[in-house]
């Protein structure tokens, strides 16, 4: 305790040495039709500080940062933004960038067809006599990437890079603007462990240079590993700001959700029925390299009322396995699929749905939702024939079904007419889940069901998974979060380089055994 107080005193002393914060956001208010997204939020950042901003989805984190970045221009919000003691009014994103603010949003903004160097300096290309100086552009790009210890050739097309490297290019792009304030919104969502460590190494160097960083993440391990201070938002309001050393995970979670959080994974026993689905010798090939197997001769069964977890490192073939079964994999595949003992032929998602398979995909915004459409259209889309009729649509039936699903899943929205894209990540995920439940599936695939959603929404999703299993639904779940796999699954399968390398019951599955199988060292 004494050492902690000493550290706290050191931190307070360090912050007090600054003349003033480099950023102050004072009593920010932002309203949308029928919703007050920010209700008097205040936030400050010091030079060289790593300041995490946490809260449940819908708490106002991203809205606050979009206000800072000029996405929401001056005049559309109340309150003041102060940079280095001067009140600033940003009418465009470019105005914010000129003030030394760089924001890396969760959705990458890179142009895949351009090179790394072109992306880094897009709109700010060095030129001579009105022509782009390509030599200087790539020379600057090489130096910047070298300074960040990123082994990437600036002449490489961005489309040739993995998601993790693209994320690091986004950071290089931000830093090429000489940003003194760097905002990172869920930057590690798609990164491997080694890529996360590379990112953190870069961020520590930036901290030493005096760059102030605002870090938004649902991964509290990362928050506590890096933060000087933590600010918690809830329901559009500032709950409080504390030194990271004065907090722990349980305290932060309690502040985020407004209540003490008990056991994250409810210990519920499931009663298994007959085999709902059996897969025999499934093999799926790479789209770009037809001779490369991404899934190699995998067989498994899942019973009614069972949660079957599939674990493995990134690139192990987990999503490809589910997509191949569902008829959504674009390259060739082979194998046999049986649903309730009957062999079925599935060559498209439509055939999968007809045979009683539902699929909550990994990327809800790209594959799971029509973001511009209301909840109603999204929820009833996959099961429209069953809900509304084969020939004519019945709007009243659709509304009844959507409202019932919204109530069951506790979707926070004014009505089924609410546009899906305006919902928080957790509520969007519930809409996707509701869509597939309205098809009355026999087997439900869940691919990263809690990616990018907060701890409160995660618990609600976990409760729903257990509820569905108790009702007899067979569930196959892929997750990159090992505690999630171990906490929810009745049985765990492990893939390594496309092959099935481990199978464990709930009592047999330990982190050590699963990771050994995931790395091929079992």
Q: What percent of the chain has pLDDT over 90?
A: 47
Better-predicted residue by pLDDT, 34 or 449:
449
Whether residue 264 is predicted with pLDDT greater than 70 in this model: the reply is: no
Query: What would the CATH number be for the domain defined by 273-356+441-455+469-522?
Result: 3.40.50.300
Whether residue 58 is predicted with pLDDT greater than 80 in this model: the reply is: no
The rounded distance, in Å, linking the Cα atoms of 411 and 264 is 20
Q: Mean pLDDT across the stretch 39-54?
A: 95
The predicted pLDDT at position 389 comes to: 61
Which SS3 state, helix, strand or coil, does residue 281 take? strand
* Topology agreement, domain 2-100+179-257 and domain 273-356+441-455+469-522: yes
pLDDT band at 469 (very low <50, low <70, confident <90, very high): very high
Superfamily of domain 2-100+179-257: P-loop containing nucleotide triphosphate hydrolases (3.40.50.300)
The predicted pLDDT at position 132 comes to: 92
Give buried/exposed letters for 461-498 (b at 16+ CB in 10 A, else e): bbebbbebbeebbbbbbbbbebebbbbbbbbbbbbbbb
The predicted pLDDT at position 259 comes to: 54
The predicted pLDDT at position 20 comes to: 77
Hey, where are the domains in the chain? 2-100+179-257, 111-178, 273-356+441-455+469-522, 370-439
Residue given tokens 């999968």 in the structure block: 352
Average pLDDT of the chain? Answer: 86
The rounded distance, in Å, linking the Cα atoms of 363 and 454 is 16
Q: Mean pLDDT across the stretch 481-500?
A: 91
pLDDT band at 107 (very low <50, low <70, confident <90, very high): low
79 burial level (CB within 10 Å; 0-12, 13-18, 19+)? middle
């Amino acid at each position: 305790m004494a050492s902690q107080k000493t550290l706290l005193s050191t931190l307070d002393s360090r912050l007090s040495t600054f003349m003033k914060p480099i950023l102050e956001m004072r009593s920010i208010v932002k309203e949308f039709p029928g919703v007050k997204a920010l209700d008097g939020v205040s936030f400050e950042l010091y030079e060289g500080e790593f300041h995490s901003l946490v809260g449940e989805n819908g708490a106002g984190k991203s809205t606050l940062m979009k206000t800072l970045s000029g996405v929401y221009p001056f005049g559309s919000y109340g309150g003041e933004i102060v940079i280095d003691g001067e009140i600033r009014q940003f009418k465009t994103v470019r105005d914010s960038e000129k003030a030394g603010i760089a924001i890396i949003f969760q959705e990458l903004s890179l142009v895949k067809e351009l090179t790394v160097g072109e992306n880094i300096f897009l709109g700010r290309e060095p030129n001579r006599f009105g022509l782009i100086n390509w030599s200087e552009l790539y020379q600057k790009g090489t130096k910047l990437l070298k300074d960040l210890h990123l082994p990437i050739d600036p002449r490489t097309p961005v489309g040739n890079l993995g998601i993790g490297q693209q994320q690091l290019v986004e950071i290089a792009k931000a830093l090429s603007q000489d940003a003194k304030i760097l905002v990172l919104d869920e930057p590690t969502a798609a990164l491997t462990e080694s890529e996360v460590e590379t990112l953190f190494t870069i961020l520590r160097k930036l901290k030493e240079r005096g760059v102030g960083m605002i870090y938004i993440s649902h991964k509290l391990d990362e928050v506590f590993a890096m933060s000087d201070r933590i600010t918690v938002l809830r329901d559009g309001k500032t709950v409080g700001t504390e030194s990271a050393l004065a907090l722990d995970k349980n305290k932060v979670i309690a502040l985020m959700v407004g209540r003490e959080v008990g056991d994250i994974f409810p210990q519920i026993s499931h009663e298994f029925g007959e085999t709902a689905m059996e897969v025999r010798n499934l093999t799926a090939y790479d789209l770009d390299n037809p001779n490369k197997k991404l899934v190699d001769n995998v067989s498994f069964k899942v019973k009614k009322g069972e949660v079957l977890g599939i674990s493995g490192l990134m690139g192990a073939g987990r999503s490809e396995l589910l997509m191949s079964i569902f008829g959504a994999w674009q390259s060739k595949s082979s194998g046999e699929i049986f649903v309730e003992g009957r062999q079925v032929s599935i060559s498209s998602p439509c055939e999968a749905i007809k045979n009683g398979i539902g699929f909550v995909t990994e990327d809800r915004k790209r594959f799971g939702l029509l973001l511009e459409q209301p909840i109603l259209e999204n929820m009833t889309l996959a099961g429209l024939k069953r809900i509304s009729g084969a020939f004519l649509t019945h709007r009243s039936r659709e509304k009844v079904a959507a409202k019932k699903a919204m109530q069951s899943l506790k979707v926070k929205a004014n009505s089924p007419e609410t546009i899906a894209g305006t919902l928080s990540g957790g509520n969007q995920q519930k809409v996707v889940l509701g869509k597939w439940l309205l098809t009355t599936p026999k087997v439900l695939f869940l691919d990263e069901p809690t990616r990018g959603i907060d701890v409160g929404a995660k618990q609600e999703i976990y409760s729903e998974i257990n509820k569905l299993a108790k009702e007899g639904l067979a569930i196959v779940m892929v997750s990159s979060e090992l505690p999630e796999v171990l906490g929810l699954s009745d049985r765990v399968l492990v893939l390594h380089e496309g092959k099935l390398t481990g199978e464990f019951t709930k009592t047999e599955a330990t982190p050590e055994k699963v990771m050994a199988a995931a790395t091929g060292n079992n």
